[in-house]
Amino acid sequence: MRRVSNIALWTAFLAPVALLLVWSFAWRWPWPAPLPNRWRASAWTDLAATGGLGAAALRSLGIATTVAVVATGLGFVTSRSVAEARAREALQWLLHLPFALSPVVLGVGLEYSFLRAGLAGNLVGVALAQGILAYAYAVILLSGLWTARVGAFLEGAATLGATPRQAWTLVLLPLARPLLALCFVQTFLISWFDYALVLLIGGGRVATLTTSLYQFVQSGDLRLAAASALLLLLPPLVALVTQAQPRPDALAGEPDP
Amino acid sequence: MADPGMNPGLRVSGLDVSLGGRAILRDVDFAVDPHSTLAVIGPSGSGKTSLLRALAGLGGRANGAIEVDRRRVDALPAHRRGIVYLNQEPLLFPHLDVRGNIGFGLRLRHRSASRIAVVVDPLVAALGLQGLESRDPLTLSGGERQRVAFGRALAVDPAVLLLDEPFASLDPATRLSMQTLFRQVARDRGITALFVTHDLKECLRVGDQFAAIRDGRCRVYPGRAAFCADPANGVAAEIAFWSDAGTSLRRE
C-alpha cells in the first residue's frame, strides 16, 4: 500500500515536469498523437537568445535570496517573542492575515502606500512586499521551535556554564538548523514563484522570471513557455533536494532505539 | 548530618520559593556536606523540582541565601553558580555525538581538544560507555542516555550536582544499576549532590543525608535512622508490607 502511494506521489509530482520537458523539445505535435513526431531543442536556444531573460532570472534569484535571508533571520528572532507573548493566539491570527488576503489583495492594499513612499516600480519595493508575506510565514513556521523542550535544552546548557550567547550559538542554532533551512527554502519559494506582487508593486518595470514566463504564455508559444517554466522549477528543485531534512524526533523527544 | 566543623558544600538558609505568585516552599534550611548526597523524598507536586530549579537559578521566584562552598550564589545567573542540574529526561544534544555531549561543558570553557580528551576518556570508561563515543544520542538506550547526561554533568567538575529524579523513566533493572553507578562515581569523585526522588528505596540507596518535602516544608533528618523512624516517610509501612509478603510466601 505504501509502495503504491509512493508511486502515486512521485507520478503526481513528476508527470507535469515530464510534460513540460516534452513540450520544450517538441517541434511538431499533431493532435491526437501521444508524443511529438518531430523533436528540436530550438525552444532552449531561442530562450537563451531572448534578450533580458538571463537578467530576469538573476533578478528573481537576487530578490528571492534577499527575501529568504531577511524573513528567516527576522522571523527567527521575533518568533520567540510571539511564542512567549501573552497574546500569542491573537498575534498568530494576525500573522495569518497576509495568507488570507492572498498576494493580489495584499498587493492592491500596499500599492498606494508604496507609490507614495517611492517604493513602487523598483526592486526594493517588490522585495519588501514579498518580504511581508514571507516574514509572516517565517514567524508562524518558527514559532513552533520555542517549545518547553528547547527551553529545557537551553537551561541545561546554562547550568553547564553556557553564557546566553553560547547557549544561542552552540545549542539553539544547531537545534534550529533544520527548521531554519526549511524556512529559508519556503520563503525563497514564496518570492521565487510570486507573480502578483511583482506585477502590482513592480508596475511592469521589474521583470522577473515569472513575469517573463507569463509573457511567453500570453504570446502563445507553448515551447518557450515550457522551457522557461522548467527554468523556473530549477532552483526550487535544487533547494528541495539538497536541503537538510528536519529531524522531528530531535526536538520532540528521545525514542527508545 | 553536617559536621559543625566542616564547611558545607551547599548551604540553603531561609529559602522561600514561589511560582506564578503561588508559594511552593517556605523557609527551607539545609546543608549538604562536601562529597555527600542529600536525598530528598517527596510526593509528586510537592515542590522537589521547584527547589532544584531555584537552587540552579532556573526561574521561579526564590528568596533566601544559597551558598556553594561558602560563596553566595543566589544573585548569580545559572551559568555562574557552579551548580549543574540533571533533568529527569537526559536531554542530550542531538547535534553532538556521545563524546561531544560529554565534553560540551569543557568546550564552553574553551578547553583544547587534548584537554577535553583527558577529562572525557576516563569518564567514558567509568560510566561504561566505551564503544559508544561516536554514537548519535538518539540511537542509545534510556540507561545509556542517562549515563551520557551524567558524564556531561561530571565533566565540568560541578561544585554541586542537582539530580531531578534522573532514573524515574528507566526500567527497574536499569534503574538499580544506575543507582549503584551513581553511588560509586559520586564516592570516587567526591561529588556534592542533591538527589530528589519520590521512590523510597532509591532515596535510601543514593543518600548519605536525608530530607523530606511535605506541605511546602523541607524537613532534614539528623541521620538515616531518624529518617526511617518517621512514619510519614513510609519506611515502616514498606517493611511491614514486605514482611507480610514474606510470611504469605512461606505459608504457600
B78–A158 CB contact, under 8 Å: yes
Residue of A nearest to B158 (CA): A160
Distance in Å, alpha carbon of B249 to nearest chain A alpha carbon: 36
A156–B87 CB contact, under 8 Å: yes
State the helix-helix crossing angle for A173-192 and A222-242, rounded to 10 degrees.
170
Residues of chain B positioned with their CB less than 8 A from the CB of A170: 104, 107-108
Backbone angles phi, psi at B163, to 5 degrees: -120, 120
A158–B90 CB contact, under 8 Å: no
Residues of chain B positioned with their CB less than 8 A from the CB of A162: 79, 108
B109–A161 CB contact, under 8 Å: yes
Cβ contacts of residue B226 below 8 Å, gap of 6+? B210
As a whole number, the mean pLDDT across chain A is 87
Q: Which of B57, B87, B140 sits opposite A152 (nearest CB)?
A: B87
The continuous run of DSSP H or E covering A26 comes out as strand A26-28
Q: Which of B95, B107, B139 sits opposite A175 (nearest CB)?
A: B95
How far is the C-alpha of B76 from the C-alpha of B93, rounded, in Å?
25
The residue with greater pLDDT, A103 or B108, is B108
Q: What is the ipTM of this complex?
A: 0.88
B104–A177 CB contact, under 8 Å: no
Domains of chain B, first to last: 10-232 (3.40.50.300)
Rg of chain B, C-alpha, whole Å: 19
User: A179-198 pLDDT, tens per residue?
Assistant: 999 999 999 999 999 999 99
Q: Which of B58, B81, B153 sits opposite A155 (nearest CB)?
A: B58
Using pLDDT thresholds of 50, 70 and 90, give the confidence band for residue A207.
very high
Residues of chain B positioned with their CB less than 8 A from the CB of A252: none
Distance in Å, alpha carbon of A239 to nearest chain B alpha carbon: 22
Cβ contacts of residue B218 below 8 Å, gap of 6+? B25, B28, B29, B30, B40, B51, B211, B212
Quick one: how far is CA A28 from the chain centroid?
35
Residue of A nearest to B79 (CA): A161
CATH number (3.30.460.80, 3.40.50.300, 1.10.3720.10, 1.10.287.3510) of A54-240 reads 1.10.3720.10
Residues of chain B positioned with their CB less than 8 A from the CB of A157: 104, 108
As a whole number, the mean pLDDT across chain B is 90
Residues in a beta bridge with B195: B39, B163
Predicted local confidence at residue B49, as pLDDT:
93
What is the percent of chain A where pLDDT is above 70?
Answer: 93
Q: Is the pLDDT of residue B7 over 70?
A: no
Quick one: how far is CA A84 from the chain centroid?
26
Residue to mutate among B53, B84, B93, B106, with most A CBs inside 10 A, is: B93
Q: Is the pLDDT of residue B53 over 70?
A: yes
Handedness of CA A6, A8, A13, A14 (dihedral sign): positive
Given the C-alpha cell 542529600, which residue does it identify?
B38
Residues of chain A positioned with their CB less than 8 A from the CB of B73: none
User: A104-124 pLDDT, tens per residue?
Assistant: 888 888 989 999 999 999 999
Q: Which of B85, B92, B107 sits opposite A159 (nearest CB)?
A: B85
User: A215-230 pLDDT, tens per residue?
Assistant: 888 888 888 889 888 9
Using pLDDT thresholds of 50, 70 and 90, give the confidence band for residue A250.
very low
Residues of chain A positioned with their CB less than 8 A from the CB of B57: 158-159
Predicted local confidence at residue B249, as pLDDT:
86
Predicted local confidence at residue A243, as pLDDT:
64
Contact in structure between A26 and A39 (CB atoms under 8 Å): yes
